[in-house]
Structure formats: structure tokens, C-alpha cells
Amino acid sequence: MENCSKDYPTSIVQLPDDCLYFIFNWLDSASDRQSFGLTCHRWLQIQNSSRRSLQFQCSFTKIDIASLSQSTMKINAFHLHRFLNRFQQLHFLSLSGCVEMPDSGLRQLQYYGSKLQTLHLHCCFGITDCGVSLAASGCPSLTTISLYSCNVTDIGLKALSQSCLALRDVDLSYCSLISDHGIRALSKNCRQLRAIRMSNCRSVTGVGFMGCSQGLTYLEANGCKLEPDGIMAIVSGGGLEYLNLSCISWCILGDGLRAIGAGFATKLKVLDFRLCRTIGDKSIIAIAKGCPLLQEWNLALCHEITKAGWEAIGVHCHNLEKLHVNRCRNLCDEGLQALRYGCKKLSVLYISIHNYRRISSTAMEIFKCLRGDVKIIEEEVMCIAPNSAFQ
Amino acid sequence: MAELMGPRLYSCCNCKNQVALHDDVISKAFQGRNGRAFLFSHAMNVVVGPKEDRQLMTGLHTVADVYCSDCREVLGWKYERAYEETQKYKEGKFILEKSKIVKENW
């Protein structure tokens, strides 16, 4: 032991790479990691290949107040090439906010994207089907992708569904060119699909979901032009726990939403019908009976629900904890009484008290007296999505 | 079938909230912020905003913006006061822009 270090002093450069990786991972401050990388090329390489996530200032997820006043550098394809060349072991890449990034910027993903799990392309208006295909072919391990507001059509979705079979969370909000064909490709091939956001996809009617897997637990379809067949298809998988159908008032006439209560959506826990103006008592009664596990239900601005509907909710929604009835024009004293008698597990009631024409202050006071366990909140909540996906 | 016999209505373009009856149209020859607008004697399910003075094509008026009561989309304005004799007939009436309302039931 004494003779080993007599001739040459040992130094850290003699450590093998995996030891240096280990040491690097213990560094928890950014400046330490920077200094590590500035030491020599070998250590720079270790720093580069230890990086797991990359995002830019334009995505606004981490707001640094001091830098807000400076103009941000626009990330273009050349920059992205250099970055992807340098950081080849990324798991998370966000190009959100890079509005001018062209498809060619994603080309390097074909060589270095094999470990990529999460790709965010929010508002990447320059990305089209071509770019999505490049990303799909280069990133077979992709589990989460966001194409919010991208110019993507069914062709891009089909490319995704063929290469990225491990896809779990997909955000397609505001992709108005997507139709049921693309949705069908995704739901048929990506059987691990857990969550889909397709808010305001105007060309989707919902029929593409027929035969979706039971793993689909989270779906946001607000603002879509859904049809009754589409609603049937959406619940056909049997595993939905969160469903957002707000603001589809003009598409589903009368009882089109009754299908949700037909026995396929028994696992539904959170349901959002905000501003579904045409949903009537028949649908509400069917859903109250058919979704016994319902915990949160948003019925704000559902003007067509009358006493029969409120009574059904009171009688059948045994597990309901949060109910939103803000500005419902046909919620009167008797409806409030029905809710008071039932919904034993109710803990929060979102209701507008002050400019109410139909509910007398007496009825409101009786409710507060006899149901002191229920918190009354006047606020209108726009989004009741659970945190179970898109983390 | 009952809808065909009912009154002809106009609804908010955004959320289909019923805002006016066709029977209440006084004139279809008005100009809104971006295009044609109709003058109505009554509007329902709307929220009237704060009053402000505005210089319109026909002179100075005190108007208040009118919003859909459900989705808060600006649909037009209400004439609160007119300052020229020839414009007094508009007081208390509503302008709803053609691009912001849709026909319902007809």
C-alpha cells in the first residue's frame, strides 16, 4: 500500500469515465456543473451526456424575472442541430414557443433522439407533418408529446402511431386539421395511451375512439364538434376517469350525451360539462345513475337542467364531493333542496349567490345551516383536470 | 317540430345564448366595429358594461358595450345617450353586430 504512490502522484484524471459520471451527478449547483464542463474536453463530454432535459427561455415554464426585459434569442434550426449534437442523451426536450422553428430543425432527432421520452412542441407553428414524422421515426421511446396549435394533420398522427408505440400522453389541442382518421390510428396502435387533450379540434367528431383501450383514462374534448356516435365511441374503452366536454353546446342536441350513462363510463370520476347549454334532464338522470364513482361534476351554465335533473343528482351521486352549479338558470329553491337532501359526501359547492334570480336567500341560508359540512364557493372554475397525466 | 313555430331568435355566435328576437329588429342598416350591425329595441341575456363617450359615424354618443351573459363575448353596444336631436330615437336601444350573432330556429 505504501509503495503505490511513490513515483507518480494520483490525480482525478486517472479515474475512469463512469466514476466521473458518478461524481458529476452529485454536483447540485449549476455553477459547479458549468465549472466541471469547462475543465477539459473529456469532462465537457461527461457534462453534455449527463444532461437529460433541454428547454429554452421562450417556453416560459421557468420565468426568470430579470431576463424578461431582455429580448430572447430566437432558436433556429442551426442552433437546434448544435444542441442535439451536443446533448445526445436527452429524455426531455421542449421547443415550446419556438414559433419559427422549421421541420428541418428536428432532423437531428433521427440520430440522437432514441432516448427521448417527452417532446413539447407547443405553438411551434412552423412544424408540419414532415417534422412530426422525423420526430416519430427518431424517437421510438416517446411517451409524451405535445402538438398544441401545430399545423399537423392525420398524416403526422399516423406517422406517430406507427413509430411511437409507447405513447402515453398526447396533447393535440387546437390542431384543427386533425380528424377522426388520425385519432383512430393513434388509438388503434398506441395501446398504452393514457391521456389525450384535443380541445378545439374542430374536425373531430369522436368516432375515431371506437375500440380504444381501457388504459385511456383522461380525455379533454372541449370545443370539439362531437356527435352522438362519437360520444359512444369515446366511452367504449370503459376506462375513462376524467372527461372534459365543456363548451360543446351547439353540437349535441337534446339527449346525445346520454350514452355516457349507458354503462361504459362506470369508472368516471371527474366530468366537465361547463357551458353545455343543451344538456337536458334525461341525460343528467342517465349519467347520475350510470356513473356511480363520480367525484367532481362541473355543470356551470347548464341552463336546461331542471328539478328532475337536480333530484337525480341528489339521489344517485353518492360519491360526489365537488359540484359546480354556477349561473345555472334553472336551479331554483327546489333543486337546491334536492341537492341538500342527497349528495351525502359533498364537500364543496361552487355556486353564484349574489346575482341569482331563482334561488332565494332563505333557501341558501337553510342549505348553509343544514349542510354546514359543505363549503360554498362563488368562484367559477374553468379547469377541473386532475394531475394524473401530463406531468 | 315546436321550434319551427316559435319566435325567430338570434343567439350569441360563441355559446348560442339567446340574445334577441327578430321581431325586435328596428333597422338592419347600421355599421358596427367590423361590418354590418342591427338595431334592436330589446336584448336579453346580455350584460351591459360601463358607459363611455364615443364618436360614432352619426356623431357623439354615450354608449355601453354589451356582453353575452354566459360567455362574455362582446356582441355590440347599447345607446345610453345621444346628443343630437335626430339621433335621440336610439336611446335605450341595442346594436348587435351581424358577425357576432347567429339565427336560431329559422
Residues A155-204 pLDDT 10s: 999 999 999 999 999 999 999 999 999 999 999 999 999 999 999 998 99
Q: Is B70 on the interface with A (CB under 8 A)?
A: yes
User: Are the CB atoms for A168 and A145 separated by under 8 Å?
Assistant: no
Q: Which residue of chain A is at minimal alpha-carbon distance from B45? A: A329
Cβ within 8 Å of B, A 166-225 = none
- Do residues A87 and A146 both lie within one domain? yes
Lowest mean pLDDT among A9-18, A315-324, B41-50: A9-18
Q: For position A69, which CATH number holds? A: 3.80.10.10
Q: Measured between alpha carbons, how far is A24 from A48 in angstroms, rounded to an integer? A: 11
Length in residues, chain A:
391
- Do residues A377 and A351 both lie within one domain? yes
- Do residues A144 and A274 both lie within one domain? no
Q: Measured between alpha carbons, how far is A257 from A231 in angstroms, rounded to an integer? A: 7
AA identity, residue A311: E
Condensed to tens digits (0 to 9), the pLDDT of residues A86-127 reads 999 999 999 998 988 999 999 989 998 899 999 999 999 999
Q: Over chain A, what is the mean pLDDT?
A: 90
Q: Please say which residue of A151, A167, A198 terminates a domain.
A: A151
- Do residues A16 and A74 both lie within one domain? no
The reported pLDDT for the residue numbered A4 is 52
The reported pLDDT for the residue numbered B42 is 95
Q: For residue B43, give how far its alpha carbon lies from the nearest alpha carbon of chain A (Å).
A: 17
Domain assignment of residue A265, yes or no: yes
The reported pLDDT for the residue numbered B2 is 42
- Do residues A260 and A368 both lie within one domain? yes
- Do residues A269 and A360 both lie within one domain? yes
Domain assignment of residue A147, yes or no: yes
Measured in degrees and rounded to the nearest 5, phi and psi for residue A263 equal 115, -5
Average pLDDT over residues B55-78: 92
Domain assignment of residue A224, yes or no: no
Domain assignment of residue A380, yes or no: yes
3-state secondary structure A107-176: HHHHHHCCCCCEEECCCCCCCCHHHHHHHHHHCCCCCEEECCCCCCCHHHHHHHHHHCCCCCEEECCCCC
Contacts of A279 in chain B (CB under 8 A): none
Q: For residue A87, give how far its alpha carbon lies from the nearest alpha carbon of chain B (Å).
A: 46
Condensed to tens digits (0 to 9), the pLDDT of residues A25-50 reads 999 898 999 999 999 999 999 999 99
DSSP A99: T
Cβ within 8 Å of B, A 98-117 = none
- Do residues A288 and A381 both lie within one domain? yes
The reported pLDDT for the residue numbered A14 is 85
pLDDT at B82 over 70: yes
Confidence of residue B23 (pLDDT cuts 50, 70, 90): very high
Confidence of residue A66 (pLDDT cuts 50, 70, 90): confident
Condensed to tens digits (0 to 9), the pLDDT of residues A317-373 reads 999 999 999 989 899 999 999 999 999 999 999 998 765 678 888 999 999 999 999
Q: For residue B17, give how far its alpha carbon lies from the nearest alpha carbon of chain A (Å).
A: 8
Q: Which residue of chain B is at minimal alpha-carbon distance from A300? A: B70
Q: For an interface test with B, which of A222, A249, A355 has the most B Cβ atoms less than 10 Å from its Cβ? A: A249
pLDDT > 70: what percent of chain A?
A: 94
The reported pLDDT for the residue numbered B3 is 46
The reported pLDDT for the residue numbered A296 is 96
Confidence of residue B5 (pLDDT cuts 50, 70, 90): low
Residue-number span of the structural domain to which A286 is assigned: 241-391
Q: For residue B16, give how far its alpha carbon lies from the nearest alpha carbon of chain A (Å).
A: 7
- Do residues A105 and A131 both lie within one domain? yes
Cβ within 8 Å of A, B 11-50 = 15-17
CB contact under 8 Å between B16 and A277, yes or no, is yes
Contacts of B48 in chain A (CB under 8 A): none
Q: For residue A264, give how far its alpha carbon lies from the nearest alpha carbon of chain B (Å).
A: 29
pLDDT at B16 over 90: no
CB contact under 8 Å between A327 and B16, yes or no, is no
pLDDT at A3 over 70: no
Average pLDDT over residues A288-311: 93
CB contact under 8 Å between B15 and A277, yes or no, is yes
- Do residues A60 and A33 both lie within one domain? no
- Do residues A80 and A44 both lie within one domain? no
Q: Which residue of chain A is at minimal alpha-carbon distance from B13? A: A250
pLDDT at B96 over 90: yes
pLDDT at B1 over 50: no
Q: For an interface test with B, which of A250, A274, A304, A352 has the most B Cβ atoms less than 10 Å from its Cβ? A: A250
Domain assignment of residue A58, yes or no: yes
Q: Please say which residue of A110, A127, A151 terminates a domain.
A: A151
Lowest mean pLDDT among A246-250, A329-333, B60-64: A246-250
CB contact under 8 Å between B71 and A275, yes or no, is yes
Q: Measured between alpha carbons, how far is A209 from A206 in angstroms, rounded to an integer? A: 6
Q: For position A37, which CATH number holds? A: 1.20.1280
User: Are the CB atoms for A112 and A88 separated by under 8 Å?
Assistant: yes
Domain assignment of residue A72, yes or no: yes
Q: Over chain B, what is the mean pLDDT?
A: 90
- Do residues A67 and A43 both lie within one domain? no
Q: Which residue of chain A is at minimal alpha-carbon distance from B70? A: A301
Q: Measured between alpha carbons, how far is A256 from A227 in angstroms, rounded to an integer? A: 8
Between B87 and A1, the more confident residue is B87
Condensed to tens digits (0 to 9), the pLDDT of residues A197-246 reads 999 998 999 999 998 999 999 999 998 888 888 999 999 989 999 999 99
Listed in order, strand segments (DSSP E) in chain B are 9-12, 18-21, 25-32, 35-40, 46-56, 59-68, 74-82, 94-97, 101-104
Q: Which residue of chain A is at minimal alpha-carbon distance from B102? A: A250
Q: Is A252 on the interface with B (CB under 8 A)?
A: no
Task: Given the cut 0.95, state whether the ipTM is greater than it.
Answer: no
Q: For residue B26, give how far its alpha carbon lies from the nearest alpha carbon of chain A (Å).
A: 28
Q: For residue A249, give how far its alpha carbon lies from the nearest alpha carbon of chain B (Å).
A: 7
- Do residues A42 and A66 both lie within one domain? no
CB contact under 8 Å between A249 and B15, yes or no, is yes
Q: Which residues contact B55 (CB under 8 A, 6 or more apart)?
A: none
The total domain count for chain A is 3
Q: Please say which residue of A151, A169, A197 terminates a domain.
A: A151
Contacts of A355 in chain B (CB under 8 A): none
Q: What radius of gyration do chain B's Cα atoms show?
A: 14
Domain assignment of residue A246, yes or no: yes
pLDDT at A389 over 70: yes
Q: For residue A60, give how far its alpha carbon lies from the nearest alpha carbon of chain B (Å).
A: 28
Confidence of residue A5 (pLDDT cuts 50, 70, 90): low
Domain assignment of residue A280, yes or no: yes
Cβ within 8 Å of B, A 319-378 = 327
How many beta-carbon pairs under 8 angstroms link A with B? 15
CB contact under 8 Å between B15 and A247, yes or no, is yes
pLDDT > 70: what percent of chain B?
A: 95
